[in-house]
Amino acid sequence: MLFDLPDHDTLYRALLAREAVVRLLGDSPAHLRDRQLLKAAWLASPIGEMLAVADDHALHLLEFFDRAALPNELKKLREATRSAITFGRTPVIDRIEAELGEYFAGRRAVFETPLAFHGSVFTKAVWDELVTIVPGTTRSYAEIAAQAGRHTAVRAVARANGANQLAIVIPCHRVIGADGSLTGYGGGLWRKDWLLRHERKMAAALKA
């Protein structure tokens, strides 16, 4: 199945969302100035700009700029970490940028950037299972639920997938419907399709 790229109206809404993020992170709230500071930076990719948020030790968020939920995710992250978020760079952002470059060039399938997880015990268990999915392959929501020890928790797995704030690195794009359909990707189904095709090509090249 082929997926079309976003139309002009979709891109326009995405640009508005990007501006909302810029306004949200433009200045650190005064009442948080004495607390931990997270840095955010825009990263280029072949399938759209991404926003990375990190401290000096770990990556907290990596999302496509046009994800509708991004402003709300940033607010939740700020509350969860009791931090201010402002634009800037850290060694962690430099590292994930380099690793993403290798990934998109077909030279890397596994990421080594340190990650910070913000979620419930079950949600983190689901994310742990996602990381075990071999690049170039997929699993169903039901399979992830079984491997996480909750055979009947398919909907909960879907919610945990949706709560993932580390796109590509925690590969929720590798989870598909039981019938093989591509469903439920916050970055857009066309990106999910692109990523899966890219990883299949990369896996085939590594085997050759």
| H helical segments located in 109-170 | 121-131, 141-147, 154-162
The pLDDT of residue 48 is: 92
> Does 193 or 149 have the greater pLDDT score?
193
Q: Are 145 and 152 in contact (CB under 8 A)?
A: yes
28-62 residues labelled b (16+ CB within 10 A) or e (exposed) = beeeeeeeebbbbbeeebebbebbbbbbeeebbbb
- The pLDDT-based confidence of 199 (bands split at 50, 70, 90) is very high
Task: Note the pTM of the prediction, 2 decimals.
Answer: 0.84
Q: Look up 172 and say whether it is catalytic.
A: yes
| Nearest CA-CA partner of 138 in 104, 110, 178, 165 | 178
The pLDDT of residue 38 is: 92
- The pLDDT-based confidence of 165 (bands split at 50, 70, 90) is very high
The pLDDT of residue 1 is: 39
Q: Are 109 and 203 in contact (CB under 8 A)?
A: yes
The pLDDT of residue 171 is: 96
Residue 120 has pLDDT above 50, yes or no: yes
Domains of the chain with bracketed CATH: 8-104 (no CATH), 121-207 (1.10.10.10)
DSSP 8-class letter at 5: P
The whole-number average pLDDT for the span 30-35 is 55
Q: Of the residues 40, 130, 145, 172, which is catalytic?
A: 172
> Does 97 or 85 have the greater pLDDT score?
97
